Structures are given as C-alpha cells and as structure tokens.
Structure 1
Amino acid sequence: MIAKMNKAPEQYKTKELCQLLKLPRSSYYYQVKGKSVNDNTHAMIKFIK
C-alpha cells in the first residue's frame, strides 16, 4: 500500500493520504526511504486516480 503512495504526494499532501488510508506518516516515510518507484506502481496509481 505504501508503494502506491510514492507518486501521489506530487498532487496530494502525504498527511491527507495517510489519514485517508489510516496509516501513520512515520510508517510511510520509513517504508519509502531509499525505495524507487517501478512501472507497476505507476500503473496502480493511475488506476486509483
């Protein structure tokens, strides 16, 4: 789920997305630290939008 949010903060605030998904922001930042976004993630984000 966290990987799906990688591209979204460009349009939406991370705080808002974490509240929507009931996910602590600290967990989000811990998980995305040092990870890159792959094509599968981009496709998932496009589908969600």
Structure 2
Amino acid sequence: MIEQKLDYIHHNPVRGKWNLVDDFTQYKHSRARYYELNEMGDIAISHYKSVNG
C-alpha cells in the first residue's frame, strides 16, 4: 500500500492539470529521485523500509 501511495505522489507533478515537469524524478520538491535513482537531494531522508514501526 505504501509503494502505491508513493507512486501516486511521485507521479502527480507530471499528470493532468499540474504538468509541472516532463520527468517526475526532476520535480524539485519530490523525493522520487531518491527512490528511483538512489540520488540524495538537498534534504537527507530515510527510505521508508528502514523506518521501524
């Protein structure tokens, strides 16, 4: 379920009325680059699988 929601969130900038970027990994405010390309952005994040809970 988490992966489905992340996919939805990451692809939002390139869909429908938004159409903010051509490639969803290039959207500045998304962490899609981290999950898809293993590239860390300006803000360090943890992979959702590494969080205990």
Relative contact order, CA 8 A, sep 6+: which one is greater? Answer: 1
* Richer in helix (by share): 1
- Output the TM-score relative to the length of structure 1: 0.24
| Larger-Rg structure | 2
